[in-house]
Amino acid sequence: MLFVCYCFCAILFAQIGAVPKQNFYPFGRHHGDHSLPPNDDQSSDEFQLLDSIHFYGKAYRSVYINENGMISFDTDFNSYRTGELIDFGHPLIAIFYADVDISGPHGGHVYYRTSQDPELLKTSSDLIRNKFHWDASDYEAKSLLIVTWDRVGSYQRHNDRYQK
């Protein structure tokens, strides 16, 4: 089974180019997303996937969504750590690794869900087929894990957004 991890990293940094929000996959509670509560340094409970993810030779049926921009497989990460990501000792995808704080009324949100919406599957399949350099012409997404760090702020500076 071929698994392609396509991280649609739509992170809006003020200092560099940005992906417009209209290019994000739909997100938020009105799309059925789960969200992390407004606290600092946390991960979701173990989140079951619709299909397994094959990552470095191992199949995973669940993930943990971390406030600080990671998706981890074997364990949750409840704090921000400096240093090399290899030092974490567990498989993870560091999509948006930063010291994020979503506590308080202006802290932003971390949303996540799985989806088998036919339109989103087609969009994802088309992106994979058109953006990768190997022959992915027969690639068809079966399910999606959609995680969005929306308007999150840096630790102790909630109004100093990583995203605008």
* pLDDT tens digits for range 133-158: 778 888 999 999 999 999 887 776 55
CA-derived radius of gyration, the chain: 16
Better-scored residue on pLDDT, 87 or 136? 136
Angle at 150 between CA 77 and CA 113, to 5 degrees: 65
Q: What integer pLDDT is reported at residue 95 of this predicted model?
A: 84
Lowest mean pLDDT among 8-12, 21-25, 89-93, 120-124: 8-12
The Cα 143–Cα 164 span in angstroms is 29
Q: Write down the pTM of the prediction.
A: 0.80
Tokens of 110: 């971390």
